[in-house]
Amino acid sequence: MIKQITEKRLLNMALFYLTRYEASEQKLRQMLERRVKKQALNGADMPPETDKWIQNTVQKAVSLGYVNNERYAEMTIRILCRQGKSTAYIRRKLSQDGIDEALVNQFLEAENTDSDTARALTWLKRQRKGGYRSAQNDSAFQKDLAALARQGFSYAAAKEALEESYRMNQKPIPDDETWD
């Protein structure tokens, strides 16, 4: 039996989601829209006021303090910086979640104790790349440079972090023409 979509059911879905995850307004709205579409595909009748109910549910969650874009941005930036993500990656992620660029800049400045090079070094350590690789894989620095570029790090930051990872682990920096 398929449960019908009602405003109360949408609120219950939102509250259940928010007990497990921190979310921005846009992220909550997208989750509710996905759930409604899934119900429609399963054969549930969709009342015409469903979009209005979703908007009301998001506003209610905001007014109750369950959803706060500032809190979400601050927490996400802190987590992503600790994981060694680049500034470009952080900006893109929060933009996708509907966070205003001015808010992102504000929290990045406050949290920006590490440079992109330091975060790239953190990423290398977490992924066991660069100087953190085992001895038999030391020649893979070009792949590591490409991996850092895919993570959104600039060439200069990636190169500096790779060189530092080799120095920290007392390994010789690979000599290659493509390095410069």
Which pLDDT tens digit goes with each residue over 96-129?
999 999 999 888 887 666 788 888 998 898 888 8
The pLDDT, as a whole number, for residue 24 is 95
Q: Name the residue type at position 109.
A: E
The pLDDT, as a whole number, for residue 178 is 47
The pLDDT, as a whole number, for residue 112 is 63
Q: Which residue has the higher pLDDT, 151 or 115?
A: 151
- pLDDT, tens digit, 9 for 90 and up, residues 58-77: 999 999 999 999 999 999 99
The pLDDT, as a whole number, for residue 136 is 54
Average pLDDT, the chain: 87
| Backbone phi and psi for residue 164, each to the nearest 5 degrees, phi listed first | -65, -40
Alpha helices in 21-140 (DSSP H): 25-41, 50-63, 69-82, 87-96, 101-111, 116-127
Share of the chain above pLDDT 70, in %: 92
| pLDDT band at residue 93 under the 50/70/90 scheme | very high
How many CB atoms within 10 Å of residue 147? 17
Selection from 49-63, 100-114, 153-167 with the highest mean pLDDT = 49-63
Dihedral (C-alpha) 65, 70, 73, 78: value to the nearest 10 degrees? -100
When pLDDT is averaged across residues 24-41 and rounded to a whole number, the result is 93
The pLDDT, as a whole number, for residue 169 is 78
